[in-house]
Chain A
């Protein structure tokens, strides 16, 4: 499959053999991508080059029309729908060999989803990984935006289960597209109205609808509404991928993002009585963790990297993290050594 080979100068260790060859764990484990003797059986970042081009074209369109859902030809990923297949395809389309990848799931770097997606990209691209938000150039996330403010050289990729914010009220896809086209967004407020009439306040706590660039209403993926203000005028490029629904959308850097609300019930983020019991943070999103069966519980930062950084405990950065991953997987992985490679 010559046509799908990455540029000859890059990735000498990659054999672009087949786009969908089955995983061969034995060979993978013996000749991991980084081990320097033959590499994996996969194309760079697993997807074939044509697919990545298709994704990039869709992403360009998404960036050009902030908040607009662009359909794309979703591929089968070696992971079930709902585990981040959309985000992974977007990441695969934008990742380059010199990227430093951070993957989080509910703010944590060490939960199942984050670990498996990180390992996937380490295997198929050999990029460096990190837990540190300010070191990463590319962040794939499920359900959180890191507490550390993102910079303008960074890209954050969101995993999206249901991209259509109007789905709650309008089940027909052709109708919702028409509603987006004609900016008929009154029904979004019906949802918020229902919240207030039932609970006395806007009880939507995650996937809180936003209006982008004063045009499209967008579902910001199931991030807590605590993170909504971080979407607004973010210097980082924000990309959203929904694998099952085969839609992607984007927020270019410095885009206006406004959370919907009522004049007499303005948008407000969650607040806690407690501070983080590990790092003492007063301003981060807290998880309530049950610690015993006697009613004991503690509140800790959901963003593990932020918490570690603040509390001064071990912060796993770059190759340290790769080493840590390696230790848990009991195999040898070192930092990247092919930084000259073109992105796939």
Chain B
């Protein structure tokens, strides 16, 4: 916890990587997300927790502009150019951003991978999409990334449909990280995995995030995942952010009644 506080104090001097202000989205009369504001700094992991239907995934999809927000603004400070307003970005630029500086890890790896083509090609796709045209180099990078995510190099030519669930998820992460994005969005990265596999995945993710100084937004309903991965936490309830703060602070001393309920609902073995 002390580490976290020091870290936050350090980044507070910088300008945020992502600045979200008054973001709202309704489906008809249902307010999926309402008046959401937060900042994300470089190298920081932000957890979003909340029950099913609280608007977590909608928020994530608004951020990567897969959904158009009704109101509000998302400002991203890209590496090269001036800050860009994601909501007003045209589709070409948005997709360009999404496959170079951003990454999106789907809850179900089947949606984020090409199941029919080899693991190497899955990792290499983003490289080829940004212009890599040297087979040997692409393959080398793919091998390196397989090492990074603890998949045997020998499996480089196997299609992910022959991988286990945990391996598929790790492959998806490698596929997203190969272009060295600055921001990675994860939707329930450990969903559907058994606890020992979860633990390994989280361990690996934590290592990668600190090693690459990645910023990440992790949506999860699992408080243990949130505690392990995220520096700061956003608690969502019925489309609004009811509480935000340092992870340990929120989880150890929840203020809002819903946060208190959420924390007290966790079963401990």
The answer to whether B133 touches A184, judged by C-beta atoms less than 8 angstroms apart, is no
The answer to whether A190 touches B128, judged by C-beta atoms less than 8 angstroms apart, is yes
Give which listed residue, A182, A190, A197, A198, contacts B125 with CB less than 8 A.
A190
The answer to whether B91 touches A264, judged by C-beta atoms less than 8 angstroms apart, is no
Known: A190-B124, A190-B128, A194-B117. A184 touches B135 (CB 8 A): no
The answer to whether A262 touches B117, judged by C-beta atoms less than 8 angstroms apart, is no
- In whole angstroms, how far apart are the Cα atoms of A178 and B95 in the complex? 11
- In whole angstroms, how far apart are the Cα atoms of A182 and B93 in the complex? 9
- In whole angstroms, how far apart are the Cα atoms of A181 and B118 in the complex? 27
Known: A187-B125, A193-B138. A263 touches B130 (CB 8 A): no
Give which listed residue, B95, B124, B126, contacts A193 with CB less than 8 A.
B124
B138 / chain A contacts, CB cutoff of 8 Å: 193
The answer to whether A197 touches B118, judged by C-beta atoms less than 8 angstroms apart, is yes
Provide the B90-112 mask, 1 if CB < 8 A to any CB of A, else 0: 01100100000000000000000
Which of chain B's residues has its CB closest to A178's CB? B91
The answer to whether B133 touches A193, judged by C-beta atoms less than 8 angstroms apart, is no
Provide the A243-270 mask, 1 if CB < 8 A to any CB of B, else 0: 0000000000000000000111100000
A264 / chain B contacts, CB cutoff of 8 Å: 134-136
Provide the B161-201 mask, 1 if CB < 8 A to any CB of A, else 0: 00000000000000000000000000000000000000000
A190 / chain B contacts, CB cutoff of 8 Å: 114, 117, 121, 124-125, 128
The answer to whether A197 touches B129, judged by C-beta atoms less than 8 angstroms apart, is no
Which of chain B's residues has its CB closest to A192's CB? B135
A193 / chain B contacts, CB cutoff of 8 Å: 120-121, 124, 128, 135, 138
B114 / chain A contacts, CB cutoff of 8 Å: 169, 190
The answer to whether B134 touches A262, judged by C-beta atoms less than 8 angstroms apart, is yes
A295 within 8 A of B: no
Which of A169, A178, A193, A262 counts the most B-chain CB atoms under 10 A from its CB?
A193
Give which listed residue, A169, A187, A196, contacts B135 with CB less than 8 A.
A196
The A contact surface, by secondary structure, is helix
A262 / chain B contacts, CB cutoff of 8 Å: 133-135
A197 / chain B contacts, CB cutoff of 8 Å: 118, 120-121, 139, 156-157
A184 / chain B contacts, CB cutoff of 8 Å: 95, 129
The answer to whether B125 touches A186, judged by C-beta atoms less than 8 angstroms apart, is yes
Interface size band for A: 10 to 19
The answer to whether B134 touches A263, judged by C-beta atoms less than 8 angstroms apart, is yes
- In whole angstroms, how far apart are the Cα atoms of A304 and B43 in the complex? 67
A189 within 8 A of B: yes
- In whole angstroms, how far apart are the Cα atoms of A184 and B128 in the complex? 10
A181 / chain B contacts, CB cutoff of 8 Å: 92
- In whole angstroms, how far apart are the Cα atoms of A189 and B129 in the complex? 9
- In whole angstroms, how far apart are the Cα atoms of A169 and B117 in the complex? 9
Known: A198-B157, A262-B134. A182 touches B92 (CB 8 A): yes
> Which of chain A's residues 160-175 have a Cβ closer than 8 Å to chain B?
169
Give which listed residue, B95, B118, B126, B157, contacts A182 with CB less than 8 A.
B95
Which of chain A's residues has its CB closest to B131's CB? A186
B92 / chain A contacts, CB cutoff of 8 Å: 181-182
- In whole angstroms, how far apart are the Cα atoms of A189 and B127 in the complex? 10
B126 / chain A contacts, CB cutoff of 8 Å: 186
Which of chain A's residues has its CB closest to B136's CB? A264
The answer to whether A186 touches B129, judged by C-beta atoms less than 8 angstroms apart, is yes
- In whole angstroms, how far apart are the Cα atoms of A289 and B51 in the complex? 68
B120 / chain A contacts, CB cutoff of 8 Å: 193, 197
Provide the A60-104 mask, 1 if CB < 8 A to any CB of B, else 0: 000000000000000000000000000000000000000000000
B129 / chain A contacts, CB cutoff of 8 Å: 184, 186-187
- In whole angstroms, how far apart are the Cα atoms of A322 and B114 in the complex? 52
Known: A187-B125, A193-B121. A263 touches B133 (CB 8 A): yes
- In whole angstroms, how far apart are the Cα atoms of A262 and B117 in the complex? 18
The answer to whether B118 touches A194, judged by C-beta atoms less than 8 angstroms apart, is yes
The answer to whether A186 touches B130, judged by C-beta atoms less than 8 angstroms apart, is yes
- In whole angstroms, how far apart are the Cα atoms of A198 and B156 in the complex? 11
The answer to whether B157 touches A189, judged by C-beta atoms less than 8 angstroms apart, is no
A194 / chain B contacts, CB cutoff of 8 Å: 117-118, 121
- In whole angstroms, how far apart are the Cα atoms of A190 and B138 in the complex? 11
A169 / chain B contacts, CB cutoff of 8 Å: 114, 117
The answer to whether A189 touches B95, judged by C-beta atoms less than 8 angstroms apart, is no
A281 to chain B, nearest CB (A): 33
A194 to chain B, nearest CB (A): 5
The answer to whether B128 touches A182, judged by C-beta atoms less than 8 angstroms apart, is no
Provide the B12-50 mask, 1 if CB < 8 A to any CB of A, else 0: 000000000000000000000000000000000000000
- In whole angstroms, how far apart are the Cα atoms of A264 and B137 in the complex? 9
Q: List 23 A-B contacts (CB under 8 A).
A: A169-B114, A178-B91, A181-B92, A182-B95, A184-B95, A184-B129, A186-B129, A186-B130, A187-B128, A189-B128, A190-B117, A190-B121, A194-B121, A197-B118, A197-B121, A197-B139, A198-B118, A198-B157, A262-B133, A262-B134, A264-B134, A264-B135, A264-B136
Given known contacts A190-B124, A264-B134, what 14 new A-B pairs fall within 8 Å (CB)? A181-B92, A182-B91, A182-B92, A184-B95, A186-B129, A190-B121, A193-B120, A193-B121, A194-B117, A197-B139, A198-B157, A262-B134, A263-B134, A264-B135
